Amino acid sequence: MSDSSRNAQKVIVIGAGLAGLCCARSLQRAGFNAHVFEQSDRVGGRVATDFVDGFRLDRGFQVLFTAYPAVKQELDLAALDLKVFDPGMVVFIKGEPYPLYDPFRQPLRAISSLRSPLLSYSDNVALFKFRQLVMRLDIEDIFLLPDVSAKDYLLDFGLSRSALDDVVVPISSGIFLHRRMDVGIRNFAMVYKMMAEGSAAVPAAGMGAIPEQIAASIEEGTIHLNSSVTKLIKEGDRVIGVELENGDYALADFVVVAASADVAALLTGLNLPQEKRSAACLYIEIPKPFTSSKSIMLFQEPNKYATSNTLVNNAVIISNVAPSYAESGRHLLSATSIGDPQASRDRLLELAQREIGGHFKDSRSDEWELVHVYRIPWAQFAQPAGISSRLPKVETGIPGLILSGEIVTNSSIQGALQAGQKAANAVFYATGMKRRPVRR
């Protein structure tokens, strides 16, 4: 195929999340006529930031791992002005705080972690060996590990059951949104490696700055907001375009579906994994920081100060990490609950006051004010052991139709960006172009 005929190829991308934006930009840079159709009024999908009453609120607590390979390839990290969390975390068990430090980054502080009653000598040895393993492996090799549960793998690796429950499960629950650590070792090991190799951070302008940065490098007029696709148009077996909710239609040589799994399944008819993980994120204005820490706080279940089931899984004073999230002189606490709590806003605030504020005598929790609650039914898709073999391929087998979005990789920023790269590569291959390297 000649360059001129390739440049005439039109591609429609459904969804302006990270995967769709990354795919469209790659295609345009290669000379394709790529257009993005997004049902909402903004880009980013679940990665978004709102401005509410003088605060920057991410739509759900999210962090950017700077070690993600696709992040290094696709983003200008310096321009994002990243604000970095302190390495390590603080786990609260039965009302007591137990700091967990990275001995490779905070060797002096880590002495207290090594002496922690949560971890025996053999537990520290097992975690050290596991760290050495994941640091030695490329991400591609990590996804060749046995597709078993992270729990079983770590227990077989020599970690004690108590260390698993007291240390690893609270960390995992904040990442994979499951209190019982129902996650496969491949995805767990990937995140563990990213935590060891890089930093967790947020952009000064909020997580929404990430998709906005990508969108800014996409050709003007090719991202169509408030444009909901309701149907794929076919000619015989081939997908040749899309029909929009307003009755309009657009034709293309290829259609890339980069929507969430539930929407993608409805549009394509494909059988896609749709077990989801839900979360609720509370943003609370506090009168003053009750800790100067920039570390994430994890609350083991049951919480000493909970009235019944524990609501808060993890929390952080996000304005300690990124002062730009709050107006000068104001302070913002982010608290995350796993699942879909049905309590009212007032009740959620009351529970957070008890479960977080109870651990700090100077919290002044009775003065806390709820700024906003985000209830996120589809925060990520479930990633238990065995999920890798059930994930769909980018090439659907349907002529003209390519699948993207995190459902073809893993539920993470890395997975979304990588999915966009893979979808663009599928178009390149179908039109006779050389595929570009994609790292997990």
Share of the chain above pLDDT 90, in %: 87
Q: Which of 203, 228, 198, 222 is nearest to 213 (CA)?
A: 203
pLDDT-derived band at 288 (thresholds 50, 70, 90) equals very high
pLDDT attached to residue 2: 38
Q: Which residue has the tokens 């913002």?
A: 332
Q: Which residues pair with 403 in a beta bridge?
A: 257
Instruction: Please give the average per-residue pLDDT across 149-159, as a whole number.
Output: 97
- Residue, of 112 and 183, whose pLDDT is higher: 183
The model carries a pTM of: 0.94
Q: Which residues pair with 255 in a beta bridge?
A: 12, 401
pLDDT attached to residue 239: 98
Cα distances (angstroms) measured from residue 333 to each of 194, 239, 297:
25, 47, 11
DSSP E strands in 193-237: the ranges are: 200-203, 223-224, 229-235
Give the tokens for residue 139: 């991400």
pLDDT attached to residue 3: 46
Q: Helix %, strand %, coil % for the chain, to 5?
A: 35, 25, 40
pLDDT-derived band at 373 (thresholds 50, 70, 90) equals very high
Give the tokens for residue 422: 């893979």
* pLDDT at 70 > cutoff 70: yes
* pLDDT at 270 > cutoff 50: yes
pLDDT attached to residue 107: 61
229/247 Cα distance (integer angstroms): 10
φ and ψ at residue 270, rounded to 5 degrees: -75, 150
φ and ψ at residue 359, rounded to 5 degrees: -85, -10
pLDDT-derived band at 4 (thresholds 50, 70, 90) equals very low
Share of the chain above pLDDT 70, in %: 95
pLDDT-derived band at 345 (thresholds 50, 70, 90) equals very high
* pLDDT at 375 > cutoff 50: yes
293/357 Cα distance (integer angstroms): 15
pLDDT attached to residue 75: 98
* pLDDT at 282 > cutoff 50: yes
* pLDDT at 425 > cutoff 90: yes
Say if residues 244 and 250 touch (Cβ distance below 8 Å). yes
Say if residues 146 and 139 touch (Cβ distance below 8 Å). no
- Which residues have CB under 8 Å from 158's CB, separation 6+? 122, 123, 125, 126, 129
* pLDDT at 155 > cutoff 60: yes
439/394 Cα distance (integer angstroms): 15
For the stretch 90-127, pLDDT in tens is 999 999 999 887 777 766 565 665 567 888 989 989 99
Instruction: Please give the average per-residue pLDDT across 387-401, as a whole number.
Output: 96
Say if residues 405 and 264 touch (Cβ distance below 8 Å). yes
165/301 Cα distance (integer angstroms): 10
For the stretch 200-247, pLDDT in tens is 999 999 999 999 999 999 999 999 999 999 999 999 999 999 999 999
Q: In the 8-state DSSP scheme, what is residue 46?
A: T
Say if residues 274 and 318 touch (Cβ distance below 8 Å). no
